[in-house]
Amino acid sequence: MSGPAGRLAAGRLALVVGLLLPLGGFAQEPAASSTAPSTAAPADPGARVGTPGPTGHDDPELAAFATRLDPLVARLERLAGDTGAAGVLAVGLADRPVRIAAFGRFSAQADTPMAEDALFALDTLTQPFVAAAALMLQERGGWLLEDRLADHVPAFSHSDIRLVDLLLQSAGLPADLAGNARWRNPEAPTFDHGLGVARNLSGESFVRLLARAKPEYAPGQITRPGFDYDLLGLALSASSGQPLGTWLLGELFVPLELWDLGFHLDGDRVKRFVAPPHERAGDERAWREPQDVLGFDCGSACLVGTAADTLRFAQWLLVGGALGERRLLSRESIELMTRDQLRGRVENRIGLPGLPASVGGSRAGYGFGVGTVGPQGLPTLPGNYGAYGVSSPLGHLLWVDPASSLVVVLLARTPDAATAGRAARLTQAMVYGARP
């Protein structure tokens, strides 16, 4: 068997073999060996979802929408020429893909066009996947979101943190372990985000270090970026008896045919990985590199995937937890995940996708892993009440607007945070302008 069908079958075989490997909790070292993403060439996105593009649709409405996205693709190409940015845009309408388009160059060092099936470090776009996993485990009876973290991670027996505090990123834990007074060490690795810790620590060591660090505020006071989703992923691992990547593989990625999603890079996946710039202006944060070996599957920022798979996941959220015949999560749980859980009772320092907290924070709500648009809407961009999403400083955007049945994914490599934000805002504005 050859072609897309053969690659699809090979992907299924590799994933199923991965599920048969020995499983373990988060204390395994190294965790990298416990997750087995597909190493086979994935199916072409077109083999699964049609051929999204200006002329690839039988439906006239979708074909017209795809064509009206041409100016956005041209604008992103111009941005790429001006700044060196590059990426892949994916747009869907309800459960139907509309357009997947690459722009810019795959590598800043080589004159190779970006590929539509390129792999990106998803960074903070990892978090909605982990939030969905937490809700799926609750529906399967593995835990309740009201549980104390200590019920699943005994190292936190002294803490009142609940699982829902982690989902809301309001646990009050320090956001930078290297900068914590008790752990300051000029020679210490970068511990200011999940990837930094996963590069240097096993899950067990990270839990031990975080449990001993002094909280910065009480749970439920402030929502802000931190280690909450890393700890949530390790709690899920402990509760389920499987590493986070293995659990996601069997319960979400395989059923949704998300063949390219995973925490680790190996085989042909390395060749398709878009490495971020080694230096980004005004940015000292370390970014994912192809040679990284992770000590555990960090839930805040460590997934790697394609725009097509990320789009399919977002469409799964939009249509209520079922694509095809199998329902993986109830519509009610997805509504719980994607509505504002703060309701003005918790200070929100995360803001809305593509907008800094100083601009969007006062109008932003926060669900589980996603920012939400309130009744006032957005200050400078289109977006309906109830829309939700997440963005990344790299230039990524995941945006779902149920009122417009619209799903937008942008995965990008950008030279600086200003270009990243501009790319996300241009994409959001111009997609609404093109929508039927």
| pLDDT tens-digit map of 190-238 | 455 677 788 888 999 999 989 998 888 899 888 888 899 999 999 999 9
Q: What pLDDT does residue 38 have?
A: 34
What is the reported pLDDT for 400?
97
> Containing H/E element for 92?
strand 86-93
Q: Contact at 8 Å (CB) between 175 and 226? A: yes
Q: Check which CATH number belongs to the domain holding 373 and give it.
A: 3.40.710.10
312 vs 48: CA distance, rounded Å: 10
Q: How confident is the model at residue 356 (pLDDT cuts 50, 70, 90)?
A: low
Q: Answer yes or no: is 207 within a domain.
A: yes
DSSP, res 41: P
- Residue 148 corresponds to which tokens in the numbers above? 């104390």
Residue 3 forms part of a structural domain: no
Query: Is 147 inside a domain boundary?
Result: yes
Q: Which two tokens stand for residue 104?
A: 């810019």
**Structure token digits, residue 403:** 């009122």
Instruction: Classify residue 25: in a domain, yes or no.
Output: no
- CA dihedral 236→239→245→249, nearest 10 degrees, is -110
Residue 158 banded pLDDT, cuts 50, 70, 90: very high
Helix crossing, 70-83 with 417-434: angle to 10°? 170
Angle, nearest 10°, between helix axes 331-338 and 307-318?
110
Residue 285: pLDDT band (50, 70, 90) is low
What is the mean pLDDT of the segment spanning 347-351? 79
Q: Has residue 14 got a pLDDT over 80?
A: no
The confidence score (pLDDT) of residue 59 equals 87
What range defines the domain where residue 356 resides? 48-434
pLDDT grade for 131, boundaries at 50, 70 and 90: very high
Which tokens in the block code for residue 190?
């970068």
Fill in the DSSP letter of residue 66: H
Q: How high is the mean pLDDT of the chain?
A: 81
Over residues 50-77, the mean pLDDT reads: 81
For residue 378, what pLDDT band results from cuts at 50, 70 and 90? confident
pLDDT at 46 over 60: no
Q: What is the pLDDT of residue 377?
A: 81
pLDDT tens profile 248-260: 999 999 999 999 9
Instruction: Provide the Cα torsion 180, 183, 185, 190; round to 10°.
Output: -60
Q: In this model, does residue 114 exceed pLDDT 80?
A: yes
What's the domain count of the chain?
Answer: 1
Instruction: Give the pLDDT band (50/70/90) at residue 169.
Output: very high
Higher pLDDT, 357 or 47: 357
Please give the full DSSP string across 134-178, using - where no structure is assigned. HHHHHHTTS--TTSBGGGT-GGGTT---BHHHHHTT-S---S-TT
Whether 162 maps to a domain, the answer reads yes
415 has pLDDT over 50: yes
- When pLDDT is cut at 50, 70 and 90, the band that residue 37 belongs to is very low
Q: CB–CB of 304/265 below 8 Å?
A: yes
Q: Higher confidence at residue 23 or residue 425?
A: 425
- Separation of alpha carbons 332 and 254, rounded Å: 22
Taking residues 299-317, what's their average pLDDT? Answer: 96
DSSP 329: S
**30 in a domain, yes or no?**
no
Contact of 259 with 11, CB cutoff 8 Å:
yes
Read off the pLDDT band of 326 (50, 70, 90): confident
CA-to-CA distance for 334 and 389, rounded, in angstroms? 13
* Domain-embedded: residue 192: yes
| Distance, CA of 148 to CA of 311 (rounded, Å) | 33
Domain annotation covers residue 34:
no
